[in-house]
Amino acid sequence: MSQRPSEPPSLEADRERCQQDLDLVQRALLRQPEALGGLVERLQCVPRILLYKNRQLGAPLSGHELEDLAQETLLAIWKKLDRFEGRSRLETWVYRFCFLELMARLRHLNRQPTFVSDVEPLTDGRSARPPDPFRFETIYRGLEKLDAGSASILKMKHFEGLTFDQIAERLGVSSNTVKTRYYRALPKLRALLQTPAGSRSEEKSS
Partner 1 sequence: MIPHDERHLAQLEELLVQSDEPETDFEGSPLSECLECREHLESNLSLMDELDLVGRDEQASLAEIEETELRAADQDLHRASRLFSEISAAPPLTLQDYRRERPRRVVAASLVLVPGALVLVLLWTVLFPTHRDPLLGVNPPGFTPAGHADSFARFSWPDTAPKGGWYVLQVFDGTKPGHSAPLTERMRLEESSWTPPPESEHWPRRLRWRLEILDGSSADSTLAWFNIVTTLD
Footprint of partner 1 on 81-120 (CB under 8 A): 82, 85, 91-92, 95-96, 100-101, 104, 108, 117-119
Pattern of binders to partner 1 over 153-172, x per CB under 8 A? -xx-xxxxx-----------
Q: Cβ 202 to partner 1, closest distance in Å?
A: 13
Specify the DSSP element, H or E, that contains 191.
helix 175-193
Which 42-61 residues touch partner 1, going by CB under 8 A?
Answer: 43-53, 56
Segment interacting with partner 1, rule: CB under 8 A, options 12-20, 34-42, 165-173: 34-42
Residue 12 or 82 having the CB closest to partner 1: 82
Q: How far is CA 44 from CA 11, 27, 149, 194, in A?
A: 26, 18, 30, 36
152-184: b or e for each residue (b if 16 or more CB lie within 10 Å)?
A: bbbbbbeebebebebbbebeeeeeeebeebbee
Q: Cβ 184 to partner 1, closest distance in Å?
A: 7
Q: How many separate helices (H) and strands (E) can be counted in the chain?
A: 10, 0
If binding is defined by CB under 8 A, does position 6 make contact with partner 1?
A: no
Q: Cβ 124 to partner 1, closest distance in Å?
A: 8
Helices 11-29 & 33-42 angle (0-180, nearest 10)? 120
- Could you give the CA distance from residue 58 to residue 33 in angstroms, rounded to a whole number? 39
Which 174-193 residues touch partner 1, going by CB under 8 A?
Answer: 176, 179-180, 183-184, 186-187, 189-190, 193
